[in-house]
Structure 1
């Protein structure tokens, strides 16, 4: 009989690939650390519930995510910028303007915190890398577009 018509064993392992961990330093803002810790707490609750229900697929997925977030917590480096800095650093909010007068404001955060739709970019993004160490009035070029730094906070 073809294996396609045989019943899978209930104890067969579920193969869920690990979440890749970035090779970059795991810089986080204080808010980012809270997000990681909240994610871990939520996943621990989900794992407990899935174990109670003996939901093997959920257990595998949640356990994988819990391993990822635990590793991220273990390597997290909280970084708070010096409030008196006159150059762009991790954790700062930067406003830039292009030659057409279009302004954009970004907060430079950790990779797991990044959310461009909400104005947060990863510290390893091309824009953040171009901004680091620059001050108000400096010009940066990203993707063949020039931007002037108009504010740092």
Structure 2
């Protein structure tokens, strides 16, 4: 079995993949993950199971590319269902606004201005709902960690590969989670 499932050794103390992830999630993110789990369980898994059964009924499984592909896909879907089920049980839904909405906390929409005067609008969300296209960053990200607890017009410094970057908080907004239900 040498090499088949082997990966490069990483020191667990320094491996960023081993860092603990926060278990916070917004109500929208929880609903999305629940919807994905429901779709995989009710629609996708039975559909692929039927394809595997049809391919198995045709004869020699060892030479059937259709059987092999669908069996691998079924295993991926089952693994994803198992992961989502466990992850949803661990998550804590943050469904209320913080007591002090003048400071940056989980779920905040924050507008930042860098040293060059360029604006950056982000939202601080849970690890499972990050989206670079929407500029939603994880609460565990270095920028989010630097912003947590800061107020309007405060300065936050973030270490970046090109050196430190300074941001000034120009706007903090919270959208009421109960209003979207």
TM-score by length of 1: 0.82
2:155 is matched with 139
2:135 equivalent in structure 1: 119
Structure 2 partner of 1:96: 112
Residue 85 of structure 1 corresponds to which residue in structure 2?
101
Output one character per residue of 1:85-130: Cα deviation in whole Å (capped at 9) or x when no partner.
Answer: 2110001100000111100011101111101221100010001000
1:58 maps to what in 2?
A: 73
The runs of 4+ residues in structure 1 deviating greater than 6 Å are none
CA positional deviation for 1:58: 1.4
* DSSP-derived class of the 1:112 partner: helix
May I ask how many residue pairs the two structures share in their alignment?
135
Are 2:147 and 1:150 equivalent residues in the alignment? no
Residue 32 (structure 1) aligned with residue 32 (structure 2) = no
Offset at 1:25?
2.4
CA contact (8 A) 1:136 1:150 kept: yes
2: CA distance, partners of 1:42 / 1:130: 37
Residue aligned with 2:20, SS: coil
Q: Give the CA RMSD over aligned residues.
A: 1.9
1:91 aligns to what SS in structure 2?
coil
Q: CA deviation at 1:48?
A: 1.1
Cα separation, 2, equivalents of 1:98 and 1:23: 29
Q: 5+ residue gaps in structure 1?
A: 1-14
